[in-house]
Structure formats: C-alpha cells, structure tokens
Amino acid sequence: MWQLGYVYDQSSDIDMEEAGVSAVTGAAVEQGSAMGLKGLLKRSAFAALAAGALSLSVVAITPSASGASTKASSSSGGTATMALDENLAGFNINTSAASEFVLQEIMNMVWPQAFIVNNKLQPVLNNQLLESAVQTSSSPQTVVYTLNPKAVWSDGTPITADDFIYNWQAQSGNTAYTDVGGKPYDDASTSGYNQIQSVVGSNPSGGAACAPGSTADRNVGLCPNGRTITVTFKPSFTDWRAIFTDIVPAHIARTVGWNTGFVGPTQTISGSWYTISSYNENQSLVLTRNPTYWGTPGKLDKIVFQFFSDDSQLVPALQNKEIDIFNPSTVNLSIVQTANQVPNTTKVTLPGLEFEHFDFNEADPYLAKVQVREAIAHGVNRQAIITRTVGEISKGITPLGSRMLVSTQAGYKGTSYAYNPSQSANLLKELGFKKVNGYYEPNYGPQSGQPLTFTIQSTSGNSIRAETEELFQAQMKAIGIKINIQNYDANTFFGTNLPTGQFQIGEFAWVTTPFVSGNQPIYCSYTSTQCAENWNHYANSQVDTLMASGSAAPSTSKEISDYNEADAILWQDMVTLPLYQKPQFWAWSNNLKGVLPNTSSVGVTWNAEDWTVSG
C-alpha cells in the first residue's frame, strides 16, 4: 500500500487548495456512483489510499484563469505543447488496434463523452454535451440521456440519438452488426455495450417529428434524430457510466468505416472543444478551437502534441521550452533527477491506475503449457526487478498481486506468487525436459532437443523496459530458459504484433480505470468476438461466467468480489504475470496553468479545455 507525501517545487506559484472538477463540466459528482472509463488502454475517494512505506510527491492545483507560454490575453489564448512518447496506430480509440493511452490524451478534447473522469477519479456528467443522464428504472435497468439541443459535430451535423445507436451497435459484439464491407467490428471493448438490449431516440429538436430511419443505417423506427436517448440493459450493467465515451460520429463512420476509416483529421471530426487541424505522422498533431462548439470554448487557441521516440529527450525539450508538459510512459531515476534541475517547473509523482506486466502468448506450443508459464513466473524475481528500476524512484513498491485492481484501489485483493527457482526446475522436469549445458531442452515440438528459447518484446526507446528485459533475461538463464530481446516502435508493437499474435512474451502496461468491468475484454475467452484484447489466446469458461456475473451485479462490492474470484483463477492458470503498480510522473512549466494530473486512463488532458498559458 502507498502513502502520499505532499511535496512541491518551492519556485512554483501553486495554490495548494484541493481541486477536482473542471470549470467547464462543472457538474457535481453523482452520489454513490462507480468511477472510471470504458476499458483499459495500452501504455507502454474510491481509490482509498492506506498508510505504507512509499512516499510519493503529489500536488493539488486549483485551475487558474490567467493566460499566455506563447503569449495570450489575461483570460485565454496562446498555445501549449505537450510531449507524447508513443506514435499513433490510428484515430478510432474504440478499436483494439488504436486503443492507446497517448491517443486518449488527444481525443479527450475531440470526441464527446457522456461522463468525464476527473483527477479525483470521480465521474462528472459532461453538461456541455448532456443536460442529464439518469437511471429511471432498475427492472429492466433503464438510463435516459438528454442531449444539449445545441450539440453539433464540427461539420454542422447535429449530435443525436443516431450517434448513440451506432456506437452501441458497433461495440455490442453482436455479429449481426458489421462494418463497411460486411467486416466484423474491431472493438477494444464490448463491456457494457454487450448488455444493452435497445437504444431508442425521442423528442427531436424544435418539436420535429421522429425521422423514420433506414435499413441501411440500422435505425428504422428508432427516432435517430431524437435528442433524448433511452438505453435499456438486459442484464443490468453496474458500470453504466463507463459507456458512451469517445463517441464516434455515426454519419462519418458509416461512410469511411469504423475499423480503419479514421486515419486523420479529415475523418476525425470533432464533437467537443477542439478539432484536429493537422497531423504529421511521428512528428506532431495540432488541436485548434472548434469554431462550431456550442458550449464554453477551450481557453487555449491551440494544443500541440509533439511526438518523441525516446523518453530521454523529454527533459531537454522542457528545459529548451520546446514543450510545456510531459508524462513519460515509464519514469526512471534519470528523468526525475534531471527534471528537478529545470527551474520554474512543477513536478508531480503519483501512484498510477497503471501496471506493468508480462503477457504470455498461449498460441506458442510451449507457452500453451501452464507448467512452462508457471516455471517462468516462479523464476522471475519481481522485487529484484522493482529495486533495480522503478524502486529507485519510489521506495516501497512491491510486486502487484492482482490484474483487476491496483493496490491503491478499494477492493484490491493481492495474491502472493513466490519467487522459487527450485519450483521452476521441478515444473520443467515434470514435462520431461532435460537440462543440457545449462538450458532445458523440450522433448517435443519445433525446439525438441534444443535450448528452450523465447523472445520478449516491448516498446523501443524505454530505458526502464530495456533494463527489465535484461534482468528477466538473466533470471531466466538462471533457471535454464534462453531469452532473446526484440523491441519495436509503439505503432508496430501495439498496432500489429500484439493484436495479431506475433509475439511470445510481451511487456507493456495497462492503464486501468476505476471500473473493474474494463478488464473483461482482456481476460474473457479469446474465442469470443467480444474479447478483442485477449492477445494471450486464453480461454476459461469459469472466468467468463464470473466476469459476466460481476458486470451485471447489483452492487459494486459484489462486482469486485466476482472479478477478484476470476483473478484467482487467472493466477492458477498463470495467464499473465503482473509486475508492479507504476508510479506516474508529470513535469510542466509554471507558465502552464490549470494542470490537474489524472492517474486514470483519461490522462492529464482530461481538463485541457481549462488550461491557460502566461509569461
């Protein structure tokens, strides 16, 4: 468990008063609600913090209404530049291929969300998009959304029930609904959407009649032009506030395609504060104020995202004023120490809703054997890896004991999995493998009579992961398994290798949400079309049943209990090996005001519409 220590840069001009609600969204947090977003993203209060040994820096900042890093007026204007350290694999973040944390940090300002998770991990109704979102019945569970009648896409098309209808159908996992050309939808997650029975519009603007809909658009009789949307669930979905985030424009998706059609600014129109005005692949992306936005406009004129291939470039870029803010995918001691030398900056470290792990691809004939996976897991000294890597930044980090929750979340139930090299040897011997010249040799398959060898992959340009791989390689050699290391750029690793199964062992991080149901598409049986992020080729009907039961549970406590029970089975089957809960680190110029670090999968830009620059 982690304890937070309050530390801040003495040169910073910071109001230490608590803050947690965007000035634009403004709505009070719904009482008794669950918290979070739709699912987990790839990255290279409710979360009650208990006393422990780990001291971390945290700053609570109240949004400021000053303004000008590229000189602006006293209230708005100017440009802020943020570093992103992974390239984009696409623009539809709702697909498994493009479901990246760095993309979410962009899309927070571009595609509308029913609820926005603030820096206190609380869901806030987006009252620029919606006038209300209310559960009106529990049997069957019914939620009614009322759209702001002024809400429009940046091309002038009204945001209506049709967008909710399409986004439900595309993410429902129902094979009756297909993408352009009849292809199955590629979904990062179907959680929640697969429990919706119907989405129906009503009350079009200005007292107009309901449009009839069309067979081609799959909305006949559903009043697609309605500004009120009634969603009926069967079975119930505990985390209903997690869905209808990053709403895709239906009228565009039906033309260009959900799966691969959103390739740049032309297709990725806005329904929020900012539009994507330019994108230079692997270089930069520029957001500018959405001129058709109906609500309170973003305060900055522009938000520029600059892409970096190596985390070591981030601090020099901040020091040279090329960027105003960065949040590395993995923080190391060098980044922290050098950032501390940059004057007029604020630095913050927090325990993230994010964990590093090893994935095992069970399509491999050897990793398909649970004994091999267990042998690897027992041979990994996770604490030694932590001590040599993230433990240099934050003392007290221990091996993570769950895939469903991190240790700072309520309901966390940790499983202890011992470092036991002797057990590794016993497991390999049980399979009939013989040790020859220091390595075990299988007695079957393509490596029969050869050293048992696996390749581990991760993202290139990440020093912590590179060191982790080297430590893993040495630890595996000690138990008689040979490890090769081959890293790739984020686009290839996340966009191709993982989703297509072109890996044996993968190291990366899931950025979690406070919604435990977001884990379902990762660990449900890969044979289901609703489990697009199960790249491990794992299947267990008991795990499927427990997660489905949890997602439909009448209470959050029952939901968490079911998911914890599923996690216990995942430990028995050694599906993946969690390493540790990752500390997150942010550094930004004191000229950038209104920054409120957010440890969930929405990232620090959750309230970027309120950022200003000065100086």
Residue 528 binned pLDDT confidence (cut-offs 50, 70, 90):
confident
Whether the predicted pLDDT of 22 surpasses 50: no
Q: What is the pLDDT of residues 558-605, one digit of tens each?
A: 999 999 999 999 999 999 999 999 999 999 999 999 999 999 989 999
Q: What is the pLDDT of residues 51-81, one digit of tens each?
A: 222 223 333 333 332 232 544 433 579 999 9
Number of other CB atoms surrounding residue 208 within 10 Å? 11
Residue 89 binned pLDDT confidence (cut-offs 50, 70, 90):
confident
The Cα-based distances of 336 to 14, 213, 342, 584 in angstroms read 20, 56, 10, 11
Answer whether 2-270+584-608 and 352-582 agree in fold: no
Strands 41-43 and 505-511: antiparallel
Compute the CA torsion angle 239, 244, 246, 252 (nearest 10 deg).
160
> 352-582 domain in CATH 1.10.1500.10?
no
pLDDT at 3: 23
Number of H helices, E strands in the chain: 13, 23
Single-letter amino acid code for the residue at 381:
N
pLDDT at 85: 83
Alpha-carbon distance of 241 to 515, in angstroms, equals: 9
Whether the predicted pLDDT of 20 surpasses 50: no
| CATH number for the segment(s) 2-270+584-608 | 3.90.76.10
Alpha-carbon distance of 475 to 485, in angstroms, equals: 14
Give me 359's structure tokens: 């994935």
Domain ranges of the chain: 2-270+584-608, 352-582
pLDDT at 494: 87
Model-wide pTM > 0.75: yes
One DSSP character per residue, 117-180 reads E-TTS-EEE-TTTEEEEEEEEETTEEEEEEE-TT-B-TTSPBP-HHHHHHHHHHTS--TTSB-G
